[in-house]
Amino acid sequence: MSQNQSQSTRADREPREASTRERKKRIPAGQPRQVLPVEGIPEGYVGYWAKEEQFDELLDAGYEFVTSGEVRVGSMKTEGDQMGSKVKHVGKRGSTVYLMKIRKDWYDENQAVKQAAIDRVDKQIHRGKFQTDGMNYAPGNIIVDNETKN
């Protein structure tokens, strides 16, 4: 490889100037990131992408549909569908999800109920006896290792 080729290759790998980027902030490579990041969920609310089969349960729980123009999904301003103004996203496999929101205090209550169920299971496991769905896991069959191994 000639010296000119190695220099041009190195130059191609260097980061672009900040002026050529239109991104608001730098996202480090290899870090977890949201697939459908949403900006503009109103203060005091939490957003949630829902499938159609979840609508009845979520509406009963206090969720509301987010309307177009209310938020930005990724770098795109949202648009409603032809049936109304609900924000939706069609995935690669053709499944459609709709953006819903719920009051933060209600969301926190829901999460506390879920966590209480997890805590009950954890206590049973730590006692060495876990029972669920008619199955009984006897003492001796459950081993809890509380030591962290690095």
Instruction: Tell me the H-state helices in 47-91.
Output: 55-60
Which of 77, 6, 10 minimizes the C-alpha distance to 39?
77
Q: Which amino acid is at 13?
A: R
Among 51-60, 88-97, 110-119, the least confident range: 88-97
Q: Would residue 115 count as lying in a domain? A: no
* CA dist list (Å): 106 to 95, 103, 109: 27, 5, 5
In a domain, 92, yes or no: yes
pLDDT band, residue 106 (cuts 50/70/90): very high
Of 65-74, 79-88, 109-118, which gets the smallest average pLDDT? 79-88
In the chain, the number of structural domains is 1
- Its domain, for residue 64, covers 34-103
pLDDT, tens digit, for every residue of 42-79?
899 999 999 999 999 999 999 999 987 777 787 655 55
Does residue 132 lie within any of the structural domains?
Answer: no
Model confidence at 83, pLDDT cuts 50, 70, 90, reads: very low
